[in-house]
């Protein structure tokens, strides 16, 4: 955990020790760290006799539905769920720093007495939680949860139903243990999770080796679209709505393709530009001392320093592509 934040983890641990009814949520379009963290905490709390429910802003992707507890994930329903939140004594918001990214789930629906806990590794969290644990160098929210669960009960080992979702969250958020925030501490946590019953081969197989032929063909097309700019330092991948349609793919299917932009020698930053119905989705990645978060912010988006995104409405694909290439120039000024 980040220095000076121990008391926050202690406070969160104490609140979760007292919890009787908990609601857990995470960001829209949840990834492996989001689903891993909500399932792990849900399973952990259920094992301790807490009535824990997960309410998601949008559904979990298919390739994560194998995770223990995913069968009970619920997508927020404005009719039934405000009551569930209002009757909870504890609400935990995982892997998200911005209120609008977990709407329509809303901390304002919670009772005055409820304790709102935020646990996240994104920068600059909005002030929605009473207890906010932030660790911007943590490789995953799941790795923060390993610390937190160890504080709640230092004696009892984690069950496989808790260890495996945590393993999966760290595996996915570190790009299979290769992103810069992967440290010896990460690997020590991973070792402990394997000892507690997480199966690495199973977690990889069920999460990643689940493509359709259409998705693989789409990947081929996306790779062929790649071009470099700014002396080979910026790589652009473009996916049109026509491409998606032709291969029977949705925007979920191209999730993660962007990391291939960084696979070209000399490239320091890349973008995947996806044309969807009425919106253009931008996913930025960078490495070394090149950071793309500010570039994403110029399009109203955000995220991590080296992994950020944005959505652009009401502009044509060509227009956005030209604009992004021009704006990316500033990444290489210095």
**Rounded least distance, CB 77 to Mn ion, Å:** 25
Nearer to Mn ion, 88 or 198 (CB): 198
CB 239 within 8 A of CB 254: yes
- Residue linked to tokens 């009719």: 79
Token couple for 148:
């937190």
**Rounded least distance, CB 96 to Mn ion, Å:** 9
Nearer to Mn ion, 38 or 239 (CB): 38
**Rounded least distance, CB 72 to Mn ion, Å:** 21
**Rounded least distance, CB 94 to Mn ion, Å:** 9
Burial class of residue 62 in the structure, from the number of CB atoms within 10 Å of its CB (0-12 exposed, 13-18 middle, 19+ buried): exposed
**Rounded least distance, CB 196 to Mn ion, Å:** 20
Nearer to Mn ion, 173 or 253 (CB): 173
Q: Backbone dihedral region of 310: left (phi > 0), alpha (psi from -120 to 50 degrees) or beta? A: beta
**Rounded least distance, CB 296 to Mn ion, Å:** 16
Between 160-173 and 141-152, two packed helices, what is the crossing angle to 10 degrees? Answer: 150
Nearer to Mn ion, 138 or 271 (CB): 138
- Give the residue nearest to Mn ion (CB): 33
Residue ranges binding Mn ion (CB under 5 A): 33, 95, 141, 173
The helix/strand/coil state of 250 is coil
Nearer to Mn ion, 50 or 54 (CB): 54
Contacts of 316 (CB under 8 A, 6+ apart): none
Nearer to Mn ion, 69 or 169 (CB): 169
Q: Which helix (H) or strand (E) holds 283?
A: strand 279-286
Count CA atoms closer than 13 A to 111's CA, side-chain side.
12
Phi (first) and psi of residue 213, to 5 degrees? -60, -40
């Amino acid at each position: 955990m980040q220095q000076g934040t121990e008391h926050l983890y202690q406070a969160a641990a104490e609140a979760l020790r007292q919890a009787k009814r908990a609601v857990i949520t995470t960001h829209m379009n949840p990834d492996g760290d989001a689903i891993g963290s909500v399932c792990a905490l849900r399973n952990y709390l259920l094992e301790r006799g807490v009535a824990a429910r997960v309410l998601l802003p949008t559904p979990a992707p298919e390739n994560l539905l194998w995770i223990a507890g995913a069968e009970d994930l619920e997508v927020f329903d404005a009719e039934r769920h405000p009551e569930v939140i209002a009757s909870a004594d504890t609400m935990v918001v995982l892997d998200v720093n911005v209120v609008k990214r977990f709407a329509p789930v809303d901390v304002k629906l919670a009772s005055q007495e409820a304790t709102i806990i935020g646990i996240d590794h994104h920068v600059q969290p909005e002030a929605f939680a009473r207890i906010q644990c932030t660790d911007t160098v943590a490789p995953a929210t799941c790795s923060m949860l390993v610390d937190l669960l160890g504080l709640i009960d230092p004696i009892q080992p984690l069950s496989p139903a808790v260890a495996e979702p945590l393993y999966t969250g760290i595996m996915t958020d570190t790009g299979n243990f290769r992103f810069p925030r992967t440290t010896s501490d990460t690997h020590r946590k991973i070792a402990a999770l394997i000892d507690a019953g997480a199966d690495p081969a199973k977690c990889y197989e069920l999460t990643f080796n689940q493509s359709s032929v259409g998705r693989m063909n789409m990947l081929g097309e996306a790779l062929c679209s790649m071009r470099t700019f700014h002396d080979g330092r910026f790589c652009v991948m473009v996916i049109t709505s026509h491409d998606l349609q032709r291969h029977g793919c949705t925007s979920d299917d191209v999730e993660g393709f962007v990391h291939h932009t960084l696979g070209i020698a000399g490239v320091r930053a890349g973008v995947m530009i996806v044309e969807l119905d009425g919106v253009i989705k931008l996913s930025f990645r960078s490495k070394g001392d090149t950071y793309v978060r500010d570039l994403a912010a110029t399009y109203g988006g955000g995220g991590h320093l080296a992994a950020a995104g944005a959505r652009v409405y009401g502009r044509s694909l060509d227009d956005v592509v030209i604009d992004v290439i021009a704006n990316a120039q500033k990444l290489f000024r210095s």
